[in-house]
Structure 1
Amino acid sequence: MNWGFVGLGQMGLPMARRLSARVDLRAYDLRSGDFAGLDTVETAAELSGCEVLVTCLPDGRAVRNVLFGEPGLADSPERPGVVIDTSTTTHAAALDIGARLAERGIAFLDAPVSGMQARAEEGTLTMMVGGAAEQLAPLRDPLGAMASRILHVGPVGAGQLAKLTNQLLFDINMAALAEILPISAKLGLDPGQVAEIVNSGTGRSYASEFFLPNILQGVFDQGYPMQAAYKDLIAGAAVTNENGFPAPVLAAATATYQQALAEGFGGEDKGAMIKVFERLVGAAFRSRE
């Protein structure tokens, strides 16, 4: 079985490299780069004929373009039998893509992943898969090269909903840290000690464990840029608004996120949200050593 892979960015490149160790893989990215270790092609159209196509792209529009636009791999004479989208898009996008592929006789698995670049390099991502269980079953072994945990969470679209649930909690956690920690510094507590207390106590979270050591050193380039990740909050607003679900904490976290973007921190990671409140209270949460 031959595979194609589109999207060799921060996550896609290490994922494709690991996958290539288990399957016959050809890969493509719109941008040039150092793709050592991969059999790459110059155009996406050259992936025509692959039996399984994996996409790892910035958003649903990019996925649709590859499948139905130019080059339109879903409409090629040698179309794939299965498309696995590991991108973070939206529930609505997954439903639309799945329906359009079904019309062409192509199976679809929406399979976003959780974990940052380091976990992609280690092959320890969590993959949340929406689609037919019988389509996933024979693909579990090769997908296991990228994700140590593969969870079938329901029909097409369920993968994106599961990923969104996780991401929104991550965003809310970071927004809470950004608001509270500068207050502790302003009132005279040592930021290093506070970070140690949080990360060894009941206030800890993945956000605190990942971001606090970097924030203490003034480092804000170790995670996904806020501007790119903002799509999660847009998707969260869409789901809650469409269903009439109250989400006051999410709304507050979104406001913090938006303020950070408005102040020009969009190119930095989510830890940079703390700069908003550091300015407001007049104290920086940085190591004193």
Structure 2
Amino acid sequence: MAKVAFLGMGVMGYPMAGHLLKHGHEVTVYNRTMTKAQAWVSEYGGRCCATPKAAAEGQDIVFACVGNDDDLRQVVAGEDGAIHGMAAGAVFVDHTTASADVARELAALLAAKGIAFLDAPVSGGQAGAEKGVLTVMVGGDANVFAAVKPVMTAYARSAELLGDTGSGQLAKMVNQICIAGVVQGLAEALSFAKNAGLDGEKVVEVISKGAAQSWQMENRYKTMLKGEYDFGFAVDWMRKDLGIALNEARRNGSTLPLTALVDQFYAEVQAMGGSRWDTSSLMARLQKCQDK
């Protein structure tokens, strides 16, 4: 059993922290909106604190899953940040999807106080967090990862070390690049099937048994055919992630024409009022284009 804190009670952090407690760890939570942290304590037990610093005091591991680079900097190094409450020998594990730069920046800052750092973004979405079956992509020291991995198993079915600090975030960029292309392809395929007069569900039932199969196809095709997008990973979040990937690509010399195009398609979905729609709402953009 470990003493842990979890910073960020969003759609991912809330259930992840719950799995940690259910697996016997002593859990303290923090959220910028205190009512969410209090709701978590009412549901699961444990305790909550009003600041990241207070939540981090005396903990073996501090986990975080917040919005972006700036949010992460604030919970780690702000006036009441976790760094001010953590002791030498503790570990900070960041599950936020952020830049590799901020991972390296915070790792250096924490290392100066004898605190280890792992960048560990996750894949699997809200459903994966709720079921405790996330995939974790990790960057950092191998010995630190080996010590923390058994704790991560509370909410992850797979956690792998991919290299030095920043490698986890770079791998998450690869993940999001893949998803962007797959979702656009699926949206086009389902739209084509509909326009061709085919039964979309029957078509997918057949092709999902072959080479076209994907997680997106298996989990999203029915709701896409129904035009339902009010769940899952939001367009705003995907654009943030793709922006990080495109910035990194400019730096390392990668050419990402499809990713850049899909990012612009998501911008059009935002303009349609779909900022909080699921990423599968690329189908709605296609429908609008065809209705013109």
The question of 1:106 aligning with 2:107 is answered: no
5 Å-filtered alignment, 1:14-33, equals: 14-20=15-21, 21-31=23-33, 32-33=35-36
Asked if the contact 1:74–1:101 (Cα under 8 Å) also holds between the matched residues in 2, the reply is yes
The question of 1:228 aligning with 2:230 is answered: no
Instruction: Please tell me the residue identity of whatever aligns with 1:43.
Output: A
Asked if the contact 1:226–1:261 (Cα under 8 Å) also holds between the matched residues in 2, the reply is yes
What secondary structure is seen at the aligned counterpart in 1 of 2:208? helix
Partner residue in 2 for 1:46: 54
* 1:147 to partner: Cα distance: 0.9
Quote the Cα distance in structure 2 between the aligned partners of 1:253 and 1:197: 27
> Which stretch shifts more, 189-198 or 136-145?
189-198
Distance 1:38 1:156, change over 3 A: farther
Quote the Cα distance in structure 1 between the aligned partners of 2:137 and 2:208: 27
Quote the Cα distance in structure 2 between the aligned partners of 1:229 and 1:253: 10
TM-score, normalization by structure 1 = 0.91
Quote the Cα distance in structure 2 between the aligned partners of 1:140 and 1:241: 33
Quote the Cα distance in structure 1 between the aligned partners of 2:86 and 2:254: 44
Partner residue in 2 for 1:71: 80
Instruction: Please tell me the residue identity of whatever aligns with 1:26.
Output: T
- In structure 1, the gaps of 5 or more residues are 284-289
The question of 1:9 aligning with 2:10 is answered: yes
5 Å-filtered alignment, 1:82-93, equals: 82-93=91-102
TM-score, normalization by structure 2 = 0.90
* 1:267 to partner: Cα distance: 1.3
Superposition RMSD in Å: 1.9
Distance 1:243 1:193, change over 3 A: same
> Which stretch shifts more, 23-32 or 40-49?
40-49
Quote the Cα distance in structure 1 between the aligned partners of 2:204 and 2:86: 57
Asked if the contact 1:98–1:108 (Cα under 8 Å) also holds between the matched residues in 2, the reply is yes
Partner residue in 2 for 1:151: 160
Instruction: Please tell me the residue identity of whatever aligns with 1:248.
Output: P
Quote the Cα distance in structure 1 between the aligned partners of 2:88 and 2:50: 15
Quote the Cα distance in structure 1 between the aligned partners of 2:86 and 2:4: 16
CA deviation string 1:143-162 (max 9, x = no partner): 11111211011111001111
5 Å-filtered alignment, 1:49-60, equals: 49-60=58-69
Partner residue in 2 for 1:267: 276
CA deviation string 1:220-255 (max 9, x = no partner): 122111112211110111111112212222222222
- In structure 2, the gaps of 5 or more residues are none
CA deviation string 1:180-208 (max 9, x = no partner): 42233223222223332342332221111
Number of residue pairs matched?
283
